[in-house]
Amino acid sequence: MKKIILICMIVTVILLAGCGGAGIIEGDDKSQDNISGQSTVEQEIKDAVMDYYKRKLGYGEEYETTQRDNYIIMSHLKSEVVREFEITIYKTKPFGDKYLVLAGCHDGDGHPPSELLLLQKTDDKYTVSKEAFGDIPISMAFTINSVVYENNTILFSVLRDRTWLVEPDESKEVSFDYIITEFENGESIKEIVTGDRAYIIILEGISDVKDMNLFNSEGKLQTSLEDLVKYGSMGRDSEFSSVEKFYKD
């Protein structure tokens, strides 16, 4: 009788251990699916942005368009003229069932504008539906571009790692961890930007910016709207425009 009880206890322990092990494996599988899903969305967004720029840069039948990593190469078929455009995705942010993407297209000359792209999913893939242009910071490490869309105020800018102040005349290195933006309607938004190359701030409602302060990870003020007014460029008030023309065959 004791042997039977002992055997039953051993079998029970084995069964319980087996159930516990199965639960851990299932959790790992789900975690991997989530990671894979995120990677898939990021890749879909990148593909959509690259496709948009290839269409936008299309020079006509006399040019051949190719892609290499983040570069779009336009080669003239009857000459040796080749132009290379580097496509940079600075920041991506969910916006309802859509995505906002701050990107840039640069051929190496001058200071190109940044482009805020609105992506939506159609036919099971993301495509760019609208674009708005913003300035790139030059002397300061940021600027404030804005666009109003569907009763939302959207602020955006590329972020740099140095500022240049006239008084005193010096350049200094800066780093950003978070941004606090105060609006004229009394609302305030704290935006985490640790490690980001840009910011996209979304306010539900329409309001002008009253103040903006950018801090590092230690909470030390790096630059502000006051500095921007004194030494930099205030960016531009922009509008979204349709890019449907680039998708017509």
Q: Which two tokens stand for residue 117?
A: 């792209």
- Measured at the CA of 216, the angle between CA 234 and CA 154, to 5 degrees, comes to 40
Tell me the average pLDDT across 115-128: 93
Long-range contacts of 68-73 (CB under 8 A, 24+ apart): 72/105
* 42 within domain boundaries: no
- How far apart are the C-alpha atoms of 45 and 121, rounded to whole Å? 10
Output the pLDDT for position 249: 66
* Lowest-confidence pick of 21-25, 45-49, 192-196, 228-232: 21-25
Which range, of 62-71, 135-144, 149-158, averages the lowest pLDDT? 62-71
Q: Can you give the pLDDT at residue 26?
A: 28
Smallest Cα–Cα separation from 119: which of 104, 130, 135, 132? 130
Q: Is residue 129 part of a domain?
A: yes
What average pLDDT does the segment 236-244 reach?
A: 96
DSSP state at residue 207: -
| CB 159 within 8 Å of CB 142 | yes
Q: Give the three-state DSSP class for 248.
A: coil
In a domain, 54, yes or no: no
- pLDDT exceeds 60 at position 14: no
The rounded radius of gyration (Å) of the Cα atoms in the chain is 25
Answer yes or no: is 157 within a domain. Answer: yes
pLDDT in tens, 165-196: 777 778 889 999 999 999 999 999 999 999 99
The one-letter amino acid at 189: I
DSSP-derived letter for residue 53 is H
Q: Which domain holds residue 142?
A: 87-247
Which of 120, 56, 114 is CA-nearest to residue 89?
114
Would 6 be classed as within a structural domain? no
Residue 165 domain-assigned (yes or no): yes
| pTM for this entry | 0.80
- Residue 139 near residue 164 (C-beta atoms within 8 A): yes
Tokens 């290195």 belong to residue: 173
The average confidence (pLDDT) of the chain is: 84
Say if 21 falls within a structural domain.
no
Q: How far apart are the first and last CA of the chain?
A: 83
Q: What average pLDDT score do residues 25-42 get? A: 48
Work out how many domains the chain is built from and give that number.
1
Q: Is the pLDDT of residue 217 over 50?
A: yes
Q: 69 is written with which tokens?
A: 């990593």
User: Higher pLDDT residue, 35 or 55?
Assistant: 55
Of the candidates 168, 165, 145, the residue with the CA atom closest to the CA atom of residue 155: 145
Within a domain: 203? yes
